[in-house]
Amino acid sequence: MILDRLEVDHLRILESLQLDLEPGINLFTGPNGAGKTSLLEAVHLLVRGKSFRRGSNGMSIRGRFSSDETSIRLDFEKRRGKPLELRRDRRRIERISEIVSLVPIQTFLPDLAELIFGAPIERRKWLDLGLLYKSLDSLRTMAHFRHVLRQRNAALRTRQLKQLDAWDFELVASAEALTSIRQQCFDDMIKEVAYCMEQLCPELEISMGFFPGYHGEKFADELAKHRTRDVKLHMTNSGPHRADIHVRISVDGKQRKALPSAAALASQGQARALAASFKLGQVQYLKTRGFRSLLLVDDLGSEWDDLHCSRFLNLMSAIGSQVLSSAVSADLLPRQWRERVSRFELNQGKLL
């Protein structure tokens, strides 16, 4: 869906702001502290119910979204000392999942490279976001695994060892089900990711693989093998909650049996290009499933050279998603793109 109109009151420096947005790339420019990132934060709050920043409180945000078939209004209100309120077409929403399923969102923040350099949980989040839009059964499978894992860990912590056999049986079944749908989702999305990598970082030789969180073909064998360790540490140490995506690269073209880990070898710029490829590949995958994503890009141009920034903009434009992006100045964009974006200038929280 497209965000047509946004209204923000009392969010950080944004006291009262209303603007109509375009379906393509919208660029918000202005000096540091002008409210550009706060505007992106407002959109994230509206469709996720939470911020990607700390310290936001007491605000009202309204947005109108539309597609070829329908139009909806979303309201987000948080008053000091009171629980937040979410409404769709003035009807109160109890679960944020009602909104999440309508408007997929991807963020491209200054910490983008953490998708490559960071802990496995960063890559699991990326993979499981794809599952979110796969099917309702996928969500149930994930929720059931997490429930059984909590129960097994509770038995380990309280040393109720007689219960372990029963919980192991449940855990193996739910783990194998979750691993199967994750593997399928990874296989589907990675095709789109690989294409984006060819566009963003063609100089790299890249291999990617899904690690389910345990070694060997059968999780039951792994669980039995390491039960003593789990009892000693009071937690389950292998399984889908330890899953990862292994990304390996080569920059010199030399033949090797195994490529080095991207986390160990990639430069900051290469890691950003790889991470952007993962996210844009997922956007394209969701598009093939009928979901049009909204992209939030903070500080566009500041961390990219002209070549990679052009490649990034070309990919976003080709995918056809709506983009809300911030930059200190449009001059940071490659020259050929400066007049191809819809520009909004902010200063001290006001639209000029």
Exposure on the CB side of residue 303, measured as CA atoms within 13 A: 20
Domain edges within the chain: 1-104+295-352
- Residue 306: the pLDDT is 87
> What's the gap between Cα 281 and its chain centre?
11
Give the model's pLDDT for residue 349: 92
Quickly count: other Cβ atoms within 10 Å of residue 246's Cβ: 15
Who contacts 143 (Cβ-Cβ below 8 Å, separation ≥6)? Answer: none
| C-alpha–C-alpha distance, residues 267 and 273, integer Å | 10
Neighbours of 264 (CB within 10 A): 9
Tell me: the pLDDT tens digits for 245-304? 999 998 766 655 578 899 999 999 999 999 999 999 999 999 999 999 999 999 987 788
Q: Name every residue whose Cβ is closer than 8 Å to that of residue 156 and which is 6 or more positions away in sequence.
A: 164, 230, 231, 233, 234, 235, 236
The pTM is what? 0.92
pLDDT in tens, 21-54: 999 999 999 999 999 999 999 999 999 888 887 7
Q: Decide: 295 and 106 in contact? Cβ < 8 Å.
A: yes
Residue 187, C-beta contacts closer than 8 angstroms, at least 6 positions apart: 210
Ranges under pLDDT 70 in the chain: 55-57, 252-257
CATH code given to domain 1-104+295-352: 3.40.50.300
Question: Which two three-digit tokens encode residue 71?
Answer: 């139009």
* DSSP per-residue letters across 163-197: GHHHHHHHHHHHHHHHHHHHHHHHHHHHHHHHHHH
